[in-house]
A and B are shown apart, each in its own frame.
Chain A
């Protein structure tokens, strides 16, 4: 099977006002297979957001190549096809909604693709059904909670029928119920919808729900593996400026006290099962 995203020797430089430049990405090599659920973590300045914006061609490489579904992002002929295949949901729920009603916003993507109105209608209805907002079709955005706004953004991404959706810290401006709503939806999109997911997050607890964790540091991928493996390595993670998921922290402390526990306990449930 062809990898969905293939990145070779990717470098990205940002010009500085003072002249000169800053290397946000240095020699990134990465392959993401279709259907994967990848979490991307790293402290501020590690390059996560920059890397994510290469997946849909919002940023183009200073050097190196990015292929999405066999298409080269830096090829202008393919850019819009790339953007159809990879959707993106951003951090600020308000600053990605353009229309005055929910369904019009969800229709924005298909409208840009010049899809016939009847088909747009079908896709909008379906996308709203998937995120559970059918009853809010004609609501204006300001009447929605933060979590609901993010669901609208997700529906908007889905309406373009992407194979992959990239989430750039989608929950950091939400309250706990909103956060849970979004994470549940993301998981379902992957397990039921087969959509490839890249989840950028500051929360190690969130990273634990993915099936692969990439930890970035100073523009490079420093760690790459399943969460049970990566999120246990306390020393390495702290050296990269990251922490542990709260459940893992407790597991480590319990082990320090002499209580034998297997590695890879990422949630409270797993801890309880192991202790009993």
Chain B
């Protein structure tokens, strides 16, 4: 699916003393199969933007086109397009309401009007994708599960709708380190297996660096930067101006560069930074 954001403006509570411009004219294009990270401080407009992508809000001005069709229109065609986009809010387990895991995960597919057999297949598949054993988990009460398990159930309920575009808002928030690693690996796997378009909001640029290939930086409702992850996530000045922290490997390489080392600073992952440092050390030791 091709997503086109055209000069999107969103003002909350327009015309009142509490009016707030969350988006001031955002334009960008996301193609099928892309892995995009959206970063920015709290209040920069990230959540508002992705809610528009999912067709949950009406723009104050501008529009979003999903494969050419305006997302927020009240037509059957627009509804059909919106169904292809899945959105997981922060702490998605807050939306759980059913009495069994099966029914919770089946909620989305049921709303799509699918046959019972298809629903069961999808629920089974979605649970496996999040690392839960369907046979064990299907009949359990979601509220009796651990926080991490509830998170997985919530994500499964969105995967079960087989979205072509998957938007995740801080998917690893509140998980322990093991849980974070596991979930990120799964997200990568989902993307690879189904070639879906992945849009990830995260404050954790170190994690983002492992998953996305392109990063959009938002600041005060505008796009400050939009480019390959390697570029955007190593631009210290830009990220600091936007109120963000660079990934740790980048911070390390920058500090070494300032101390006179000849190193590249666009190595985002720990292993890349290590290789870069080792190379630079080897080089300097060769000097007579």
A and B: bona fide binding partners: yes
Interface residues of A (CB under 8 A from B): 43-45, 145-146, 172-173, 175-178, 202-204, 241-243, 246-247, 249-250, 253-254, 257-259, 268-269, 271-272, 275-276
- Contact A268 B277, beta carbon cutoff 8 Å: no
Is B147's CB within 8 Å of the partner chain A? yes
- Interface pairs A-B: 7 shortest CB-CB: A253-B274, A257-B278, A272-B255, A243-B177, A246-B248, A202-B176, A276-B259
Min CB distance, B260 to chain A, in Å? 8
Min CB distance, B171 to chain A, in Å? 14
Tell me the B18-48 residues at the A interface (CB within 8 Å). Answer: 41-42
B252 interface neighbour in A44, A145, A271, Cβ under 8 Å: A271
Interface of B (DSSP majority class): helix
Min CB distance, A202 to chain B, in Å? 5
Is B131's CB within 8 Å of the partner chain A? no
- Contact A275 B256, beta carbon cutoff 8 Å: yes
**Please, what's the 1-or-0 string for B179-208, where 1 marks a CB less than 8 Å from any CB in chain A?**
100000000000000000000000100100
Is B243's CB within 8 Å of the partner chain A? yes
Residues of B within 8 A of A203 (CB): 177
Interface residues of B (CB under 8 A from A): 41-42, 146-148, 173-174, 176-179, 203, 206, 243-245, 248-249, 251-252, 255-256, 259, 261, 270-271, 273-275, 277-278, 281
Residues of A within 8 A of B274 (CB): 250, 253-254, 257
- Contact B252 A43, beta carbon cutoff 8 Å: no
Residues of A within 8 A of B278 (CB): 254, 257-259
- Contact A259 B277, beta carbon cutoff 8 Å: yes
Q: Measured between alpha carbons, how far is A246 from B204 in the docked complex, in Å? A: 13
Residues of A within 8 A of B259 (CB): 272, 276
Residues of B within 8 A of A272 (CB): 252, 255-256, 259
Residues of B within 8 A of A249 (CB): 270
Min CB distance, B125 to chain A, in Å? 27
B255 interface neighbour in A43, A204, A268, Cβ under 8 Å: A268
**Known contacts being A175-B41, A204-B177, is A44 close to B249, with CB within 8 Å?**
no
Residues of B within 8 A of A241 (CB): 176, 178
Residues of B within 8 A of A247 (CB): 248, 252
18 A–B contacts, CB within 8 A, in A order: A45-B146, A145-B42, A175-B42, A176-B203, A177-B41, A177-B243, A202-B177, A204-B177, A243-B178, A250-B252, A250-B273, A253-B270, A257-B278, A259-B278, A268-B255, A272-B259, A276-B256, A276-B259
Q: Which residue of B lies closest to A255 (CB)?
A: B274
Residues of A within 8 A of B270 (CB): 246, 249-250, 253
Min CB distance, A94 to chain B, in Å? 12
Q: Measured between alpha carbons, how far is A249 from B249 in the docked complex, in Å? A: 11
Q: Which residue of B lies closest to A44 (CB)?
A: B176
Q: Measured between alpha carbons, how far is A203 from B177 in the docked complex, in Å? A: 7
Q: Which residue of A lies closest to B144 (CB)?
A: A17
Q: Measured between alpha carbons, how far is A161 from B41 in the docked complex, in Å? A: 34
Q: Measured between alpha carbons, how far is A106 from B270 in the docked complex, in Å? A: 43
- Contact B248 A268, beta carbon cutoff 8 Å: yes
Q: Which residue of A lies closest to B273 (CB)?
A: A250
Q: Which residue of A lies closest to B180 (CB)?
A: A202
